[in-house]
Amino acid sequence: MFAINMFIIWIATGLLAVTTVFFNAYMFLMSLLSFKDKKRCPTDTIIMALTVADVTHQLVCYFWMTMDEVDTMCNIAAIPYTVMLLIIFTLKFTIMWDTSFLAFYYSTKLVSTPNHCYTQIQTAILKHVTSVVLLITVCGLGTCMPMLAVFNTGNQTHIKDCGVMMPETYTGQLYVAIYLLTSDLLPGLIMVKCCISISVHLMIHLRHIKASTNGSHCPKLGSEMRVVRMALSLVAIFTLFLVVDLYVHYQIAIKHENVIGLTFFFTSVYTTVTAMVLIYGKKTVWKTLLHDFNVCVDGYPCLSCLKVPEHKTKHNAPAGVKK
């Protein structure tokens, strides 16, 4: 029964791999084009690093799962599996911190703080975005290297997967707790802090707009509201993924259940949805994607019902309102 479930997860992860690679590659290419058209923007650097990590993580994960499905007798040495798991967990660390770094960047642009010291720290970080992105990857690799020492290769007579590193000792379980703290909880706290800052800023801004118009009409924030929605959506998606990821690692570390395939599946869901949210957050990229989709659909008349409207329908103003 477990083998059937893992086969289903493998198939589902493969389907998600297509969407993950497509949306992240699309976002990467659009960010790369913006590099040539305008001055380099910190968001483009962070998003490009995030999309590269997403695609690489997805490909390595699916390659590991495919080897696991094919190599049922564990004829392949454990070293390739171990190296791939090391790369996977390093990239996962990178994805989590790149996402929190992106949320941090948006919060600094949307929210102004009176704390001069904190503002200086923000400015110093944002001046060296490329260095910070590279440092995140190096820290991820350094954090994951102890896996080779504290984890034991799974016993092939007790588990169905080959080359799975299981924390069988107290040291291994302690390391898992430290890894989850650094890769999941710390970036999660940063994102929650950014979410609270953005939400408070939004409420204050809306209150000021409503007061200035005497509540005569609903306030409109335009592109700023789109960025706010994107940033809050990233935090919400991260929070859901964090809960699921902690539960799966609990099953692995404490109950010694080999459900690592679930970790790869849920990470694939997370990277796919995150890429879609990032595309939505950039209005020009979103419109370009809709236009490209409609152009593709136009080539097949039978799919004309799938066309998506590229522009919002403008409602006529009520008769009693003067323009």
* pTM for this prediction: 0.83
> Is 74 within 8 Å of 156 (Cβ atoms)?
yes
Burial class (CB in 10 A: 0-12, 13-18, 19+), 185: middle
Q: Could you count the other beta carbons within 10 Å of the beta carbon of residue 48?
A: 21
Question: HSE-up of 126 (CA within 13 Å, CB side)?
Answer: 19
Give, for all 323 residues of the chain, the pLDDT tens digit.
444 477 788 888 989 999 999 999 989 988 888 766 666 678 888 889 999 999 999 999 999 888 888 877 777 777 888 888 889 999 999 999 999 888 888 887 776 665 566 667 777 777 888 898 999 999 999 998 888 777 655 444 344 566 666 666 777 778 888 888 998 889 988 888 888 877 777 777 667 666 665 555 555 555 667 777 887 888 888 888 888 888 887 777 677 676 778 888 888 999 999 989 888 888 788 888 877 777 787 777 776 666 777 666 554 444 444 44
Q: Is 165 helix (H, G, I), strand (E, B) or coil?
A: strand
